[in-house]
Amino acid sequence: MAETTRTIVIAGREFVLRASRVERGLRDVLPEPVKDHYVVINRRRYPPKQVVGAVTGLDRAEFTTHHARRILTGLGFPAGRSPRPEHAAGHGLRPGNGGSAGRRPRRARATARPSAKSLEPFVGQWVATKGPDVLVAAADPHAVVGWLAEHRQQADSMFRVPRDELEASGAAPS
């Protein structure tokens, strides 16, 4: 099966991109936080502009997110859009609403957690998660904490994805 190759022009410059080169180029690059759109490369979600900027060396102001997404889906990478978080409007107390008299308290919602399948690519690595999503994964916990601080992100949890059941249980090998 032939590899997908695309010749693209961005900001008047021509680039020849191959899916395998994009994957190799991002192997050691941690994804930045996804705001709206993302592409999946090496089983990680990346902002499309981060990917195109990294593989072309262009400044991200030279192209749009939609252009980057079209280029990457043209190379065969799956793309998606993050669901919008619920807005705080209408929840809890607001100035001038007279408090919460006559209202029933809201039940705390169970926080969704990543599935075992979504954690498979990160076996043996440290991950920071928020809801069902893996925000970042790295071999070193300091790299994960550094990424969270750099991108002003807050995780629900941080842990090392175990390699097997024995490691997950914490039992000593016999």
Could you report the per-residue pLDDT of 64-117, keeping only the tens digit for each?
999 999 999 999 999 998 876 543 333 333 334 444 444 555 554 556 888 888
- Cα separation, 63 vs 41, in Å, equals 20
Q: What is the mean pLDDT of the chain?
A: 81
CA dihedral 133, 136, 141, 147 (to 10 degrees): -130
Tell me, what's the pLDDT at 41?
A: 92
Q: Does residue 101 or residue 27 have the better pLDDT?
A: 27
Give all strands of the β-sheet with 133-138 in edge-to-edge order.
133-138, 126-130, 157-160
Q: Does residue 73 or residue 121 have the better pLDDT?
A: 73
HSE on the CB side for 101, CA within 13 Å?
Answer: 4
Percent of the chain with pLDDT over 70: 79
Tell me, what's the pLDDT at 114?
A: 83
Q: What is the mean pLDDT of residues 146-155?
A: 89
Backbone φ and ψ of 119, nearest 5°? -90, -15
Residue whose pair of structure tokens reads 């609403």 in the numeric block:
97
pLDDT band at 139 (very low <50, low <70, confident <90, very high): confident
CB of 74 within 8 A of CB of 41?
Answer: no
Task: Please name which of 2, 1, 28, 4 lies closest in space to residue 18, comparing C-alpha atoms.
Answer: 4
Spatial CB neighbours of 97, under 8 Å, sequence gap ≥ 6: none
What is the distance of C-alpha 171 from the center of its chain?
32
Strands, E assignment, 24-125: 37-41, 44-46, 79-81
Neighbouring CB atoms inside 10 A of 22's CB total 23
Q: Does residue 19 or residue 111 have the better pLDDT?
A: 19
Tell me, what's the pLDDT at 60?
A: 94
> pTM of the full predicted structure?
0.65
Q: Exposed (0-12), middle (13-18) or buried (19+): which is 78, by Cβ within 10 Å?
A: exposed
Spatial CB neighbours of 138, under 8 Å, sequence gap ≥ 6: 30, 125, 126, 144, 147
